[in-house]
């Protein structure tokens, strides 16, 4: 499928399906659309009237045109209120049209959408992203997959001539999102710590990034007792991944993205019981997947900031070597941790990853993690939680999330709650009381960042969706990749 900009006038376009975006309560046909309606013998007006189409966001209707028409079908998609138009409005509307076009077996589609904020580049990119994200499907593990592939061959973005670079940018970003989707969706016997290390190696080779993978012995030398405490029960070796993108010339900023990389989380000796969702714990490396997806996208875009992509990757398993409730681990900064819950393992791996990254002399660190069910209770399944004491980083992340359309909400860092993590025999426990559990998790992480501005994003909710949701199909969403890319691109401004 090829998405291409076009200067061809709306009235002269020919193809299988023509999609037109209309604002809510502004569906009266005027100007060029009125002329188009006359060209098609009033079929547009008739369709709007019969279907009582109001232009509500993401609503779609379609109809066939007569056999000798240069356009076989017309699709109308609602854009919502004009004053509420956002980039994500275009992204979601494009996804809705793409799905209709696929079901209608359209090979050649034309899109007639308005501009957001008089910005053709951003608008074209958002439309292309919506199409590509919506048409993604994962049939890798079916022996005889039903052929649900898109028959769409080309999409013309009418009125967006000259925006080839914006569409290329969309392709680059979506390639990273889809990598993250594939990694999260794959079962734990297909994506292991070794697999993630091999994925990092492939990205480094394909796009010229630097790569260092620390093995267990290397981590032992660095004193990563928290990370290795989680890893010690697995038969698979842990992998500490450090990918680095460096621009030509002096970088404007030096940044790091850290992803939680638990390729499977049994809960350890505090095992997850029936009904706890243990069968879905392949998704517990969603942060690492987003980190690698962002690395793939950023390596293609080549921004002027240096970016480090880091993940301490392992399984949290059960064996005679497993860490026990009550054990004390020593992280690489010397802080001691009483393990009062082996199922709060992600923060232990992140602790050593943060200490390691904090020593690199960077301008900012962002970590992503499927860290707590408490964040899902607080914000639901669509919204990630943002935790940071740094106002500048918070503003940058919020702006990036707004641009990308990935929902995020800043949560408080209530220092008083750290009292719930105090231990009588160690510097801290790894979990506190149930109330405010996502906040105490963030406060735990904060203890391992000494000097670098830092933000933590809890993606436990939006990393996965059980049903089609906007441009995401059921399953892994690749959440975080687009926000991270926008953050890196905007950080040098």
Calpha distance 157→113 (Å, rounded): 8
SS3 label, residue 255 = strand
Q: Is 217 annotated as a binding residue?
A: no
Q: Which of 411, 413, 366, 412 is closest to 393 using CA atoms?
A: 366
**Token output for 325:** 């409730």
DSSP 428-462: EES---STTHHHHHHHHHHTT-SSS-EEEEE-TTT
Tell me if 265 is assigned to a ligand binding site: yes
How many angstroms from the chain centroid is the CA of residue 200?
17
Q: Are 348 and 284 in contact (CB under 8 A)?
A: no
Work out whether the CA dihedral 11, 13, 18, 21 comes out positive or negative: negative
Active-site residue, selected from the candidate residues 86, 107, 253, 272 = 272
Rounded CA-CA distance 373/366 in Å is 20
Residues 6+ apart with CB under 8 A from 184: 282, 283, 285, 286, 289, 463, 464, 476, 477, 478
Backbone angles phi, psi at 455, to 5 degrees: -140, 145
Q: Is 321 a catalytic residue?
A: no
Q: Which of 102, 347, 429, 482 is catalytic?
A: 347
Is 347 labeled as catalytic in the residue annotation?
yes
d(C-alpha 409, C-alpha 423), whole Å: 30
Q: Is 302 annotated as a binding residue?
A: no
Could you tell me the CA-to-CA distances from 28 to 63, 76, 110, 386 in Å, in that order?
A: 17, 13, 21, 42
Q: Which residues are catalytic?
A: 272, 347
Q: Which residues are annotated as a binding site for Mn(2+)?
A: 260, 265, 284, 343, 345
């Amino acid at each position: 499928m090829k998405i291409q900009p076009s200067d061809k006038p709306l009235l002269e376009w020919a193809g299988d399906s023509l999609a037109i975006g209309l604002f809510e309560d502004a569906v009266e046909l005027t100007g060029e659309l009125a002329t188009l309606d006359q060209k098609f013998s009033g079929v547009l007006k008739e369709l709007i009237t019969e279907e009582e189409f109001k232009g509500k966001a993401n609503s779609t209707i379609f109809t066939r045109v007569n056999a000798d028409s240069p356009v076989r079908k017309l699709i109308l998609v609602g854009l919502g209120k004009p004053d509420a138009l956002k980039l994500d409005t275009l992204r979601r509307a494009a996804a809705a049209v793409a799905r209709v076009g696929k079901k209608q077996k359209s090979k050649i589609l034309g899109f007639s959408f308005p501009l957001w904020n008089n910005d053709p580049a951003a608008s074209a990119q958002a439309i292309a992203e919506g199409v590509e994200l919506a048409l993604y499907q994962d049939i890798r593990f079916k022996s005889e997959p039903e052929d649900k592939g898109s028959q769409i061959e080309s999409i013309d973005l009418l009125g967006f001539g000259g925006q080839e670079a914006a569409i290329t940018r969309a392709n680059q970003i979506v390639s990273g999102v889809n990598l993250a989707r594939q990694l999260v969706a794959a079962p734990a016997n297909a994506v292991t710590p070794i697999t993630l290390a091999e994925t990092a190696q492939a990205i480094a080779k394909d796009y010229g990034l630097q790569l260092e993978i620390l093995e267990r012995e290397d981590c032992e030398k660095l004193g990563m007792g928290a990370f290795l405490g989680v890893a010690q029960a697995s038969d698979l070796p842990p992998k500490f991944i450090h990918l680095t993108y460096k621009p030509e010339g002096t970088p404007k900023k030096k940044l790091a993205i850290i992803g939680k990389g638990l390729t499977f989380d049994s809960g350890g000796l505090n095992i997850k019981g029936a009904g706890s969702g243990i069968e879905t714990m392949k998704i517990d490396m969603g942060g690492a997947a987003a980190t690698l997806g962002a690395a793939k996208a950023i390596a293609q875009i080549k921004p002027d900031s240096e970016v480090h992509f880091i993940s301490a990757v392992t399984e949290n398993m059960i064996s005679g070597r497993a860490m026990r409730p009550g054990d004390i681990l020593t992280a690489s900064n010397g802080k001691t941790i009483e393990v009062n819950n082996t199922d709060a393992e992600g923060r232990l791996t992140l602790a050593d990853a943060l200490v390691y990254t904090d020593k690199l002399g960077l301008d900012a660190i962002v970590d992503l993690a499927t860290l707590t069910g408490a964040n899902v209770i607080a914000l639901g399944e669509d919204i990630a939680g943002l935790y940071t004491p740094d106002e500048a980083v918070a503003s940058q992340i919020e702006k990036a999330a707004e641009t990308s359309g990935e929902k995020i909400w800043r949560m408080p860092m209530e220092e008083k709650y750290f009292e719930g993590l105090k231990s009588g025999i160690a510097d801290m426990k790894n979990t506190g009381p149930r109330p405010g559990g996502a906040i105490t998790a963030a406060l735990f992480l904060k203890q391992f960042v000494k000097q670098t501005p830092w933000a933590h994003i809890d993606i436990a909710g939006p990393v996965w969706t059980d049903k089609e949701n906007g441009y995401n199909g059921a399953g892994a969403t690749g959440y975080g990749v687009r926000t991270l890319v926008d953050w890196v691109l905007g950080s040098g401004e």
